[in-house]
Structure 1
């Protein structure tokens, strides 16, 4: 555990004088001056005593070498927006002398709540004290905690010195993740079944990679050509199906969203993308996150991340700090998907124009299945509270065009539940009209 730096020097002690200490010092100097002017020896003694008391407290406090160590533990270190996390603090007295009155203070951002302060009375030699406090934020992000500050005071309250620990921690507030129902998406098998079938169909008998026969192998898997070539019994390797792949496309364009703060359409979209991404990972998809800026976060089994838990944590950590972009289109995301767009695409989209709808139509041709969660951002801005059911002709035309291109479109409005919306993906899913002759 880290230890604080100990200040030294009378000047440091004088800077740590409290209001009480400064008042005693001023009163002592005044009494000494009056005693000199009026020739009162008794007043002189009183003035020296008043001035000496805070000075002695400062010197004593500066020369006191408290050896303390402090630590911090977060439980948990990653928390969803709107939920509480607990911060545990521990202070150890590693010296052979007891401490005096200690005031412990931890530095936290204002969005997490008030700055916690604790008063610790005498800590025995080799003893420790543990305290804790709670933090909560409705805004996602990464918030630094610390450094921990220790205020040492003398018994008379004349002087107070602050010693800081260098260590700090980070609390990550991630978007809220909602549990989604298991639905069968259109084209969801194209990430593994179709691709694997095409590979096996194109592979001839000479393309089989054999291995040595092992006890217990099925004799029907014996590869006779390789056996004759190598002079020992060889069998075909077991076929390893490709893992289903999925891409969650998040539209972060500032011009595509309305509202501000936690109730904005952008925050709803971020939470929706987090829920969908974690849900697909739990269902076995090798899921990556992609934004309109071209930012791509790999999923499990990508060569960098091994487990689903690590991949989900990386996705949530990325979404915790994602910000709105000043871009105007989806061109960069299209470039990334050109390098490998097979599998399922789930796009969480804000307001679109005709060019972006056309780009989405081209992206659909590179995917086995595609679901578009299209936000009616006007409902987040309160522009349709008078006629909430009034149709938006432009939005209706965009939905029709996307569906004609093969997208499963789920219109979303302010207040809609992500699990209820996701359940419609199976009911509204239909075969893409161009799949029989797809190509790009």
Structure 2
């Protein structure tokens, strides 16, 4: 802050103070007592103005709200502030500025209106608002509010902070991935949820021939009458298809910044967005989606098919995810050993041919193996494609929706240059 910003007088107040000094000097030099009176009057006016700001009790309270309350990276946010002012004296027009963190941009300042006197319990409320853009994901502290107050004469000013920072959650951007066109709806893995609907209607009941020992209460009378022999109800087991999305957080495959602060590494940001976008698409397709780290660790509770709230919670949870201690890609092979699933999407960073060779066994565990790499070498992507992966290169700036469609809708690969 510059020395001029700390100066308690405005330009008008500074002029009044200088005029008071000048009148005092001229009064003594030329023997004009009226100038002495004017000098004292100006000095008292400036002193009284300072006292109204620094001595008279004045309190402010601010509440801050965001619209939407949870933003996505790149999204505009409306910030609304309600400032309650309690003061026995009226306040002149001033200035306000809300402090924005790194990762947000916007014009967060303006003119603070005049306030009337009043010591009511709820004070005099002033509503302010501005628009800002969330540039990167994370938990971003917005505030405090800086107020520059002036006295009714406009001689003095006081700069002070009101309230504490309020965190804004910025989630990764969820791209609109297209539907999986060539996958049957019943495709699923070996781990399935079973629903027993006995006694909940006949839609899920399959009649079979009566066997000695069957309960008479399970006789399906309509089927028995139709076939002219006793038939009993047998519950049909419904299977829920499963999918897996893997976010490779191994720090060796990312820039060092990816392990420090959310949003610091553009490549890792693309990967996080691709991971959440793929999970969102698969949930819409009706899959139970598990989001894993490359070593098989669950990064979020499994999300049931069609659970939009679960996807929102996943995005919120991934607002602060970073790269971590290194884990080899081979650990994914071990984590999937003996298991099969529907779609499997691996989102990774800088892999080479050796990594691609180590992942060669993974496609056999999935009906739709997709590998999306931010910075893999071209030979690595070619090698992965040869082993059964549908590969896509997704460097920063790429359209994730196009990359997804290129490998899923048409069953091809997007290796890139």
Same fold (TM over 0.5): yes
Q: Within 5 Å, give how 1:72-83 maps onto structure 2.
A: 72-83=64-75
Q: Could you tell me which of 421, 425, 439 is aligned with 2:408? A: 425
Match of 1:356 in 2: 355
Output the TM-score relative to the length of structure 2: 0.70
Instruction: Tell me if structure 1 keeps the 8 A contact 2:188–2:240.
Output: yes
Q: Within 5 Å, give how 1:182-193 maps onto structure 2.
A: 182-184=179-181, 189-191=186-188
Looking at structure 2, the residues matched to 97 and 44 of structure 1 have their Cα atoms a distance apart, in angstroms, of: 29
CA distances 1:155-212 after superposition (whole Å, capped 9, x unpaired)? 23332234543354333333332222212466874536x655xx99xxxxxxx98977
Deviation at 1:67, TM superposition (A): 5.6
Looking at structure 1, the residues matched to 306 and 159 of structure 2 have their Cα atoms a distance apart, in angstroms, of: 44
Looking at structure 2, the residues matched to 219 and 366 of structure 1 have their Cα atoms a distance apart, in angstroms, of: 31
Q: Secondary structure at the match of 2:303?
A: coil
CA distances 1:239-260 after superposition (whole Å, capped 9, x unpaired)? 4534322221123445535899
Q: Quick check: 252-261 or 81-90, which moved more?
A: 252-261
Change (3 A) 1:133 1:340: farther
Match of 1:134 in 2: 131
Q: Could you tell me which of 125, 146, 150 is aligned with 1:149? A: 146
1:250 pairs with 2:236: no
Deviation at 1:108, TM superposition (A): 1.1
Looking at structure 2, the residues matched to 216 and 272 of structure 1 have their Cα atoms a distance apart, in angstroms, of: 38
Match of 1:283 in 2: 285
CA distances 1:20-49 after superposition (whole Å, capped 9, x unpaired)? 446655775787689789987555544433
Q: Secondary structure at the match of 1:122?
A: coil
Change (3 A) 1:35 1:334: farther
Q: Secondary structure at the match of 1:371?
A: strand
Instruction: Tell me if structure 2 keeps the 8 A contact 1:138–1:262.
Output: no
1:178 pairs with 2:170: no
Match of 2:82 in 1: 90
Residue segments in structure 1 that go unaligned for 5+ positions in a row:
1-14, 201-207, 230-234, 379-391, 431-440
Instruction: Tell me if structure 2 keeps the 8 A contact 1:375–1:412.
Output: yes
More strand by share: 2
Deviation at 1:345, TM superposition (A): 1.4
Q: Secondary structure at the match of 1:276?
A: helix
Deviation at 1:57, TM superposition (A): 1.2
Match of 2:270 in 1: 268
Q: Secondary structure at the match of 1:298?
A: strand
Match of 1:6 in 2: none
Deviation at 1:287, TM superposition (A): 2.0
Instruction: Tell me if structure 2 keeps the 8 A contact 1:104–1:120.
Output: yes
Q: Within 5 Å, give how 1:151-166 maps onto structure 2.
A: 151-166=148-163
Match of 2:346 in 1: 347
Looking at structure 2, the residues matched to 63 and 185 of structure 1 have their Cα atoms a distance apart, in angstroms, of: 75
Output the TM-score relative to the length of structure 1: 0.67
Looking at structure 2, the residues matched to 155 and 287 of structure 1 have their Cα atoms a distance apart, in angstroms, of: 63
Match of 1:296 in 2: 299
Match of 2:383 in 1: 397
Looking at structure 2, the residues matched to 270 and 218 of structure 1 have their Cα atoms a distance apart, in angstroms, of: 43
Change (3 A) 1:190 1:368: same
Figure out how many residues of one structure are paired with residues of the other and give that number: 382
Q: Quick check: 30-39 or 85-94, which moved more?
A: 30-39
Change (3 A) 1:94 1:52: closer
Deviation at 1:346, TM superposition (A): 0.5
Deviation at 1:145, TM superposition (A): 1.2
Taking only aligned residues, the RMSD between alpha carbons, in angstroms, comes to: 4.8
Q: Could you tell me which of 13, 17, 20 is aligned with 2:8? A: 17
Change (3 A) 1:111 1:61: same
